[in-house]
Amino acid sequence: MKQMLVVFLGGGIGSILRFLISKTFNGYSNNFFLGTFLVNIIGCLLIGFILGMSSKNNYLTQNQTLLLSTGFCGGFTTFSTFAFEEYSFLKTGDLFHFSLYTILSIALGIIAVVIGLWFSKML
């Protein structure tokens, strides 16, 4: 029960922060969902760092890891919104932004995870 509460708390905080960032940054460009892109890349960086710290000499407890990775990062990032935004590009025939958003999100997401893991090893 404690683990579910920890995940719930982290997810709520992550979701609120995602909402604020998306609301702020998605309005800057009509052709690119900057807010969603930012939360997904930042979330990738964070989960790499968190899981790296968790595996490093048990630096984080199991509950702390659940709070931060499953809870916060799970609530903060959003694959479903990303998929819907991709659909909107396809619907309007905007293949350039569809391709750009797909390639940047996946490539930078993976790079961000690697950087997060690398940074956790440096500490």
Kindly report, residue by residue over 113-123, the tens digit of the pLDDT: 999 999 999 98
Q: Evaluate if residue 59 carries a pLDDT over 90.
A: no
DSSP at 98: H
**In which domain, by residue range, is 110 found?**
2-122
Q: How far is CA 92 from the centre of its chain?
A: 26
Identify the pLDDT of residue 118. Answer: 97
The residue whose two tokens read 């609301």 is 23
Q: Which residues contact 118 (CB under 8 A, 6 or more apart)?
A: 48, 52
Q: The whole model's pTM is what?
A: 0.93
The tens digit of pLDDT for each residue in 6-57 reads 999 999 999 999 999 999 998 777 778 999 999 999 999 999 999 999 998 7
As for how many domains the chain has, the answer is 1
